[in-house]
Every structure is written in structure tokens, then in C-alpha cells.
């Protein structure tokens, strides 16, 4: 009986993971647990001093939530790009170094007098080229992606040091700094949130109608509208919290917009469906006529582009470019961890770019909360490693059980 109950639980867990929105459940539960723990563990007020600075210790305060979202933006940008390659079953270890090279070049260009928008376009083109070059080596030369991108990691780290001999460069260009500084007025932010929720509802209803037309099983009205209401509550709540401190940052609007575009590409276009097909079984995809090599090159190009955008966002937020912040720190591991914690499988064929943002919030929340509790760097690394291992273990167990049944 115990074995049957166990199998029944695993069956239900796999069924939940395979649904369109089921992959969001584990990461949302993890995020809720982290926020709940730190929200209760950290004091709301310092009764001894009553100084304003002590309000930094309030994990769930609007001020800290605002900072948390901004801190997680660069990680999320890279994680969204890395997710595209993970869907193929490949990996990109050079994403953070690519972002660093692009950010460093951006700083040099604006310092030389190049207009900010022109410099951004140049580094985005460079990032795409760097990604495509690695994709060609993986697809047409046949070198494993781990080896190619590891070589890219080392080479791009050296290139960044060449661009920044001192290891640091201030970026004072108004256009570049504007990504992090520009705030959306409160009412416009709420209007934008309502528009996003309406678009989500329309997309859901349209999808259900298409499934009905094709004779496929449709979700119940309760499930459809439940998803819309839950999504709407989260979106409006986040905007209200951000408005209560400052306002909705342009940086977050751009991140969500780019992710929405990639989300549409990966789920509603032939190229996106090819990503999942190649990740599920590359040989089968090749036999049905898919251009597997071109798909891989394009995926690595997307990662390079997202890395460049992440470099621009980082330079805008920090107001400077440093080797430690990009290539020499933990940015790469945090970005990969965010994608995996978000539910993207390292084995390919399953994942969502939206989940990468939630995974970045999990990573960022852990770091932020542990910082506020005074935890050491060693504690932060161990906790983050344990969470990442747990996420990979859950994915491996669910796949192993599914494979044993076949």
C-alpha cells in the first residue's frame, strides 16, 4: 500500500509538472517560504534606537522589496537567456563573462563620446556575435557546449581585463543610467499592470478556444479564471508595493517586456517548438526535417544578446563596470542556478523563461535575507548550493520515474 501511495504521489507530481502552469508551483512555493521565513525572522522595528536606518532590516518593507527586484534584474536577464540554451540540453558558462565584456566596451564607448543609444546597439550586436560564434563551434565543429563555453569564459575574462586594465570604469552617460533611474509614474504603472493582466487573460482564453477547435481537452473555467486572478493579484500587488516606496522602474518594465517576447517565441513559434523538440530528442528532430544545427546557433546567439542586455542593465544600475561584478564574481552561478531553480531541466526539453525570473527572485531573496540576518558569505554559499541541488534532484527524480515507466 505504501508503494502504491508513493507511486501515486509521484504520478501526481509529474502530472503537475507537465501542465502549462504546473512548473510555476514549486518555485512559487519556494519563494513564498523564503519570504515568509525572513519576513517573520527579521524584526519589524528596532525598539531600542528607532533610527530610520534600522528599517533596512525589514525584509518585507517596500524599500527592501524594491531593492530586491533591482538586485535580481541582472541575474534574471542572464537566466532568461541561459534558459533558451538549457531547453536544448546544452549549457553556456560564458554568459556572465560575455556580459562583462559588453559592459566594459559600453563604458569605453560612452567615455569616448559615442552616443549612449549607439553604444548600446553596438554591444548588443557584439554579444550576439559572441554567442553565434560559440554556437557555430558547438553545432558545426562538434565541440561539446561545456568545453566551448568554458573556453569562452576564460577567454572573455581575459578580454575584459584587457578592456579594463584598472578593473573598474565609471559610466556616467545619462542614456545608459536612465534604464535604472527612470521611474514610471504611479498611475501609468498601475495602468500598465492592468493592461498586462488583460493581455494574459485574452491569451489564456484564446488558447482554450484553440484547444477546443482542435478537439483537445480544455481547462475548466474555474482553473482558467483562477490563473488569471492569481496572476492579476501578484502583478498589481508588486506594482503597489513598488509605488509605495518610489515607483515602477523602467528597468523592470524592459525586463518583463523582453521576457514576454522570448516567452512568445519559445512557446508560439515554429522556432520555439523546435527548441523543445531538439532538447527532447535531437535525432528525432533531425529526422523530421528540423535544422538542428541552425537552431543551436540561433539559441546561442539569443544567449549572447541577453548577456549583452544584462551588461547594459548592470552598468546602468551600478553606474560603473567592474571585473568583480561580472566576470570575477558569482553572477554566472547565480544565473544558472536561477534557471534551474525555476524548473528548467538540465536534460533539455522542459522549461520556461518566465520561471527564470522567479528563480532569480529566489536566489536574490536568499542572498538579501541572509545579508539582513548577518549571515557570512560561507553560509550564503552553502544555502544557495543546497537549494540548487534540491531543485536539480527534483528534476532528476521526476524524469527517472517517468523513464522507468516507459
- Residue-level pLDDT at 41: 67
Q: How many CB atoms lie within 10 A of CB 109?
A: 20
The stretches in the chain having pLDDT less than 50 are 1-7, 19, 44-57, 402, 404-406
pLDDT of residue 187: 93
**Predicted pLDDT at 257:** 92
pLDDT, position 56:
44
Q: DSSP secondary-structure letter at 167?
A: S
Q: What is the pLDDT of residues 172-219, one digit of tens each?
A: 889 999 999 999 999 999 999 999 889 888 888 887 787 778 777 777
- Predicted TM-score (pTM) of the model is 0.86
The residue written with cell numbers 524584526 in the block is 43
Which residue(s) pair with 249 in the sheet? Answer: 183
Instruction: Using the structure block, give the residue that is written with the C-alpha cell 537549494.
Output: 387
**Domain locations in the chain as residue ranges:** 4-185+247-398
| pLDDT for residue 21 | 55
Instruction: Please provide the CATH number assigned to the domain covering 4-185+247-398.
Output: 1.10.3470
3-state helix, strand, coil in the chain (%, to 5): 75, 0, 20
Tell me the CA distances in angstroms from 229 to 22, 211, 219, 278, one per residue in order. Answer: 16, 21, 15, 34
Amino acid at each position: 500500500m505504501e508503494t502504491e501511495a508513493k507511486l501515486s504521489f509521484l504520478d501526481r507530481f509529474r502530472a503537475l509538472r507537465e501542465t502549462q502552469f504546473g512548473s510555476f508551483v514549486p518555485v512559487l512555493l519556494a519563494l513564498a517560504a523564503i519570504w515568509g521565513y525572513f519576513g517573520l525572522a527579521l524584526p519589524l522595528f528596532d525598539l531600542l534606537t528607532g533610527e530610520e536606518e534600522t528599517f533596512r532590516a525589514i525584509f518585507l518593507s517596500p524599500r527592501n522589496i524594491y531593492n530586491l527586484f533591482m538586485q535580481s534584474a541582472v541575474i534574471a536577464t542572464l537566466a532568461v537567456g541561459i534558459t533558451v540554451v538549457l531547453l536544448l540540453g546544452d549549457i553556456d558558462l560564458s554568459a556572465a563573462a560575455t556580459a562583462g565584456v559588453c559592459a566594459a566596451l559600453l563604458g569605453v564607448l560612452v567615455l569616448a563620446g559615442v552616443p549612449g543609444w549607439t553604444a548600446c546597439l553596438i554591444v548588443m550586436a557584439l554579444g550576439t556575435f559572441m554567442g553565434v560564434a560559440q554556437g557555430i563551434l558547438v553545432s558545426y565543429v562538434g565541440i561539446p557546449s561545456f568545453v566551448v563555453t568554458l573556453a569562452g569564459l576564460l577567454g572573455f575574462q581575459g578580454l575584459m581585463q584587457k578592456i579594463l586594465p584598472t578593473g573598474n570604469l565609471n559610466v556616467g552617460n545619462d542614456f545608459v543610467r536612465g534604464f535604472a533611474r527612470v521611474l514610471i509614474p504611479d498611475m501609468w504603472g498601475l495602468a500598465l499592470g492592468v493592461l498586462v493582466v488583460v493581455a494574459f487573460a485574452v491569451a489564456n482564453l484564446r488558447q482554450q478556444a484553440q484547444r477546443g477547435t482542435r478537439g483537445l481537452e480544455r481547462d475548466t473555467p474555474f482553473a482558467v479564471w483562477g490563473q488569471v486572478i492569481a496572476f492579476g493579484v501578484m502583478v498589481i500587488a508588486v506594482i503597489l508595493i513598488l509605488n509605495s516606496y518610489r515607483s515602477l522602474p523602467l528597468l523592470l518594465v524592459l525586463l518583463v517586456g523582453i521576457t514576454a517576447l522570448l516567452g512568445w517565441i519559445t512557446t508560439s513559434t515554429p522556432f520555439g517548438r523546435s527548441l523543445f523538440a531538439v532538447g527532447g530528442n535531437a535525432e528525432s528532430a533531425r529526422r523530421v526535417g528540423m535544422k538542428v544545427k541552425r537552431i543551436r546557433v540561433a539559441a546561442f546567439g539569443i544567449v549572447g544578446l541577453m548577456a549583452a542586455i544584462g551588461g547594459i542593465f548592470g552598468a546602468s544600475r551600478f553606474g560603473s563596470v567592474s571585473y568583480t561584478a561580472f566576470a570575477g564574481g558569482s553572477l554566472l552561478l547565480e544565473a544558472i542556478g536561477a534557471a534551474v531553480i525555476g524548473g528548467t531541466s538540465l536534460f533539455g526539453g522542459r522549461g520556461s523563461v518566465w520561471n527564470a525570473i522567479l528563480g532569480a527572485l529566489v536566489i536574490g531573496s536568499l542572498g538579501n535575507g541572509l545579508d539582513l540576518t548577518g549571515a557570512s558569505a560561507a553560509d550564503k554559499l552553502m544555502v544557495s548550493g543546497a537549494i540548487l541541488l534540491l531543485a536539480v534532484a527534483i528534476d532528476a527524480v521526476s524524469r527517472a520515474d517517468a523513464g522507468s515507466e516507459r
